[in-house]
């Protein structure tokens, strides 16, 4: 059976480990994790029964798929460390933001590399991820989709440059929704609601709206259509939406995502 190894044992690595075990994409005995943190490795071994080691070179030499789940600032050191341990038939998956496939290949060589931009809801199995594969990895896309579909939904983009747009839309996206929730809670308190009550109502509304939009999408019902359904002429919802429009809400969202995409390009050296 195929094997997979994670270099780096942070929250996203744990989310993926939990997901692929639950979805039976990999058995725990075929999963390995390396890190310099002994306590973290001990925790993962105890909770998920995966194999652990401190030596990333050893991990890279004995698994079929290597997931680079380290912080971007640590990537150079990791690549230099494992470059002589990666075989030409292996698949390398990177989830490090801003690190281009070209950068990884410049150290590891002409091998199969897939770059993935996940997001934090993967921690509860509701993530959104997009992946880009170089030519050598085209035949391994389905394998990678299975890994990231185990923690949410995953799509493929055909151009690496689109990862910057993905970063702006879904990579950073959860923070936009959190900000809206935060401001709605504040507004609820200003209107006289106890903070706990405002928080409970806002969080449930956000959850319900997201689930309704997701379910309705299966029937080709768009968010715009749902918005119109709940907006009665001359009613309270219309009054609130008109205020959003007066503040150029749509333009503000567009400008914010454009800036996030630009920043993603700057960080990756594009």
Q: Please tell me whether residues 113 and 147 are part of one structural domain.
A: yes
What the block records as the tokens of 57 is 């070179």
Beta partners for residue 153, in sequence order: 128
Tell me how far apart the alpha carbons of residues 94 and 188 are, in angstroms, rounded to a whole number: 41
SS3 of residue 31 by DSSP: strand
164 domain residue, yes or no: no
Q: Contact 5/51 with Cβ under 8 angstroms?
A: no
23 domain residue, yes or no: yes
168 domain residue, yes or no: no
pLDDT of residue 270: 64
pLDDT of residue 16: 96
Tell me how far apart the alpha carbons of residues 99 and 264 are, in angstroms, rounded to a whole number: 10
Tell me how far apart the alpha carbons of residues 119 and 53 are, in angstroms, rounded to a whole number: 26
pLDDT of residue 1: 64
Give the closest residue to 5 by CA, choosing from 29, 22, 23, 24. 29
Kindly give the parts of the chain with pLDDT less than 70.
1, 89, 270
pLDDT of residue 207: 97
Q: Please tell me whether residues 96 and 186 are part of one structural domain.
A: no
Q: Please tell me whether residues 80 and 24 are part of one structural domain.
A: yes
Q: Please tell me whether residues 235 and 197 are part of one structural domain.
A: yes
**Which of 102, 136, 159 is where one domain is finished?**
159
Domain count for the chain? 2
Tell me how far apart the alpha carbons of residues 130 and 77 are, in angstroms, rounded to a whole number: 25
Q: Please tell me whether residues 81 and 198 are part of one structural domain.
A: no
Tell me how far apart the alpha carbons of residues 175 and 180 are, in angstroms, rounded to a whole number: 9
- Residue 244's alpha-carbon distances to 42, 88, 148, in angstroms, are 50, 54, 35
Give the closest residue to 172 by CA, choosing from 61, 258, 99. 258
Q: Please tell me whether residues 147 and 182 are part of one structural domain.
A: no
Q: Please tell me whether residues 153 and 56 are part of one structural domain.
A: yes
Residue with tokens 């996203």: 12
CATH code, domain carrying 200: 1.10.3730.10
Tell me how far apart the alpha carbons of residues 128 and 145 are, in angstroms, rounded to a whole number: 11
pLDDT of residue 268: 82
Q: Contact 34/6 with Cβ under 8 angstroms?
A: yes
Tell me how far apart the alpha carbons of residues 127 and 75 are, in angstroms, rounded to a whole number: 23
Q: Contact 122/147 with Cβ under 8 angstroms?
A: no
Domain extent for 249: 173-268
Q: Please tell me whether residues 113 and 146 are part of one structural domain.
A: yes
pLDDT of residue 119: 96
Q: Please tell me whether residues 34 and 85 are part of one structural domain.
A: yes
Would you give the distance in Å from CA 130 to the centre of its chain? 8
CATH code, domain carrying 126: 3.40.50.720
Q: What is the pTM of this model?
A: 0.90
Tell me how far apart the alpha carbons of residues 184 and 190 are, in angstroms, rounded to a whole number: 10
């Amino acid at each position: 059976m195929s094997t997979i190894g994670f270099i780096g044992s942070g929250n996203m690595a744990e989310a993926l480990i939990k997901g692929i075990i639950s979805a039976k994409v990999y058995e725990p005995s075929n999963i390995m994790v390396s890190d310099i943190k002994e306590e973290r490795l001990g925790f993962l071994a105890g909770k998920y029964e995966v194999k652990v080691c401190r030596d990333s070179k050893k991990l890279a030499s004995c698994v079929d798929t290597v997931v680079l789940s380290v912080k971007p600032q640590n990537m150079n050191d990791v690549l230099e460390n494992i470059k002589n341990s990666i075989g030409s038939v292996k698949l390398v998956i990177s989830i490090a933001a801003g690190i281009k496939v070209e950068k990884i290949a410049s150290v590891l060589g002409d091998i199969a590399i897939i770059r993935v931009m996940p997001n934090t809801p993967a921690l509860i199995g509701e993530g959104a991820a997009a992946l880009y594969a170089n030519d050598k990895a085209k035949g391994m896309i389905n394998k990678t989709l299975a890994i990231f579909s185990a923690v949410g939904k995953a799509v493929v983009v055909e151009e690496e440059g689109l990862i910057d747009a993905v970063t702006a839309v879904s990579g950073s996206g959860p923070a936009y929704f959190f900000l809206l929730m935060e401001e709605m809670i504040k507004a609820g308190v200003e209107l006289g609601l106890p903070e706990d009550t405002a928080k409970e109502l806002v969080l449930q509304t956000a959850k319900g709206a997201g689930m309704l939009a997701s379910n309705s999408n299966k029937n080709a019902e768009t968010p715009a259509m749902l918005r119109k359904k709940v907006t009665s002429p001359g009613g309270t919802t219309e009054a609130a939406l008109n205020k959003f429009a007066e503040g150029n809400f749509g333009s503000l969202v567009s400008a914010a995502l454009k800036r996030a995409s630009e920043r993603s390009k700057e960080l990756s050296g594009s």
